[in-house]
Each structure stands twice: as C-alpha cells, then as structure tokens.
Chains A and B, each alone.
Chain A
C-alpha cells in the first residue's frame, strides 16, 4: 500500500484479555519497528525486524509481549493478559533497508479497562 497501515485504530479491552495488533508495512520494506507511546510521552522501543535476521526483542517490557512477522511483511504484536499499564498508543514503522528514514503508521490506541 501507499503507507504503513495499522489495525485496529482503537481497541478497548478488559484487563486480563489478550489482544493482537496488526501492522501492514509499505510493500517491499524489509525493516519494521514497533514502538509504544504513553500519553504525552516519547517513543519506547519494543521490537525490530530486519529481513530474515533474528528480531531484536530487547525492548519488550515483559514476557506477556510478543511479536511476529510472517513472510517478511505483515507483523502482529500480541499482548497477553493485558494490564492497565499497557494502555498506550502502539506505533509501527517500516523502512526500505533499515538505513533510511522510517515511515510510521497512525498507531493503535489501546485502552485496558
């Protein structure tokens, strides 16, 4: 597509439920990031995919968080047993090679009640 697409745009879930957030990067982009942004805060790195290399998971805050990228394209970020502190905007970004500027999606606003 023309840009990075994220779905859903908004998600409200009950504490303890699992959620899946989806990112469709720009076609052909090999590098993909997930970031978390709490209200009024900066971007917190979560995970990075680059081509067929093993992902850099060093930013995932706990083992309740996981992400995969199938076929080098679509990525899914899964949060298990959601907690209220997981409420934030989750942003995905992709890049052609990883050496250029990244294009961001509009994010998924997750609210855990």
Chain B
C-alpha cells in the first residue's frame, strides 16, 4: 500500500531559526495535510493543500504541494519555543484504501539544549 517517508525524524531548534521538513511518497495524492501534535493532545490541522504546486501560508508556517503530487514540505520561519511538538504529514486520496488518509511517522521538534 501507499507509504509516506517523512524527514527528518527529529530535529533541534534554536529560537529564531527557520525549520524545514518534508514528506515523499511512491505514489500520488490528491490532498496533503500537515498536523501538529502537542503532548497529551490529538493532532491539530495546520495547513491543507488541495492542488499540485499550491503554496499556502498560515502565519509563520508555509507548506507546498509538490508539482509531481508525490511530495510536500513544511517550513516554519523564526521558530519560537511553542513550536516544539511532533509534526505529521498526511496524504489523502478520496475513496482510496485505509479510508483515504495515510500518515507519515512524524518529525519531532525539540529545543536545542
């Protein structure tokens, strides 16, 4: 079945730095979603992308739907401490298997010691 490769698995951030993470797939998706999960909570939707090539921003977050429909990236500019958490990408094909929603394994953001 479809699988998503999300990288990096983890990264340390220093306040003010820009952060980038991405997801790739062996097959195409019609929609890409990016979620953030804080400890003890469910994932919260950050950005949804519906069209190949689409570039969408939500505050300091910017995400793009790759032109090949097989990849997406998320950038966080000028990171702040509350950005720490786990970020998940998800690809969706309406009517596909697994109820059409496939998640990456997550990128864990931590503060640099």
List the interface of chain A (C-beta within 8 A of B): 4, 31, 33, 35, 40-43, 45, 47-48, 50, 56, 58-59, 91, 93, 98-107
Contacts and interface: CB of A to CB of B under 8 A. Distances in A.
Contacts of A31: 99
A26 to B, nearest CB: 13
Interface in B3-61: 31, 33, 35, 40-45, 48
Nearest to A44: B103
Contacts of B48: 100-101
Interface residues of B, number: 24
B45 A43 contact: no
A106 B94 CA distance: 25
Contacts, number: 60
B42 A58 contact: no
A15 B43 CA distance: 29
Contacts of A35: 103
Contact of A42 (B33, B42, B92, B103): B103
Contacts of A93: 42
Contacts of B88: 42-43
8 contacts: A31-B99, A33-B99, A42-B105, A43-B103, A45-B101, A91-B42, A103-B45, A105-B42
Nearest to B41: A106
Pairs A-B, 8 closest by C-beta atoms: A48-B99, A104-B42, A42-B105, A101-B45, A43-B103, A101-B48, A99-B94, A45-B98
Interface of B: 31, 33, 35, 40-45, 48, 88, 92, 94, 97-106, 108
Contacts of B94: 98-99
Contact of A50 (B33, B41, B99): B99
Contacts of B45: 101-103
Given A41-B105, A42-B88, A42-B106, A104 B44 contact: yes
A105 B43 CA distance: 8
B58 to A, nearest CB: 12
B105 A107 contact: no
A58 B40 contact: no
